[in-house]
Amino acid sequence: MTAPPSNKILLTREDLPRLGLNLSPSTLLRLEAAGQFPKRVRIGAHSVAWLASEIHEHIAKLAAERGAS
C-alpha cells in the first residue's frame, strides 16, 4: 500500500503545533488574510484544515528566508 499524495493529506489546527506552528486562531486568520499563511480548506460546517503540502512549503519558505537574512 502506498502513501496518499501529500496534497490530499489535511492537517487540522491540532496538528499545527506538532510542526512548530503555535499560532492562535486570530493570528492564523490575520496571516491568511495577508497572504502570509496557506488558506484553509473547509471540511465541515465548523471544521477547517490545511493541505499538508502547503504547510510544509510554508515552513520551508520560512527556513529559506531565515538563511537569506
- 1 pLDDT exceeds 50? no
CB 49 within 8 A of CB 11: yes
Residue 10: φ, ψ to 5°: -105, 140
Residue 43: its H or E element: strand 41-44
The arithmetic mean of pLDDT across residues 17-44, rounded, is 95
- C-alpha count within 13 angstroms, C-beta hemisphere, residue 2: 3
Q: What is the pLDDT of residue 42?
A: 94
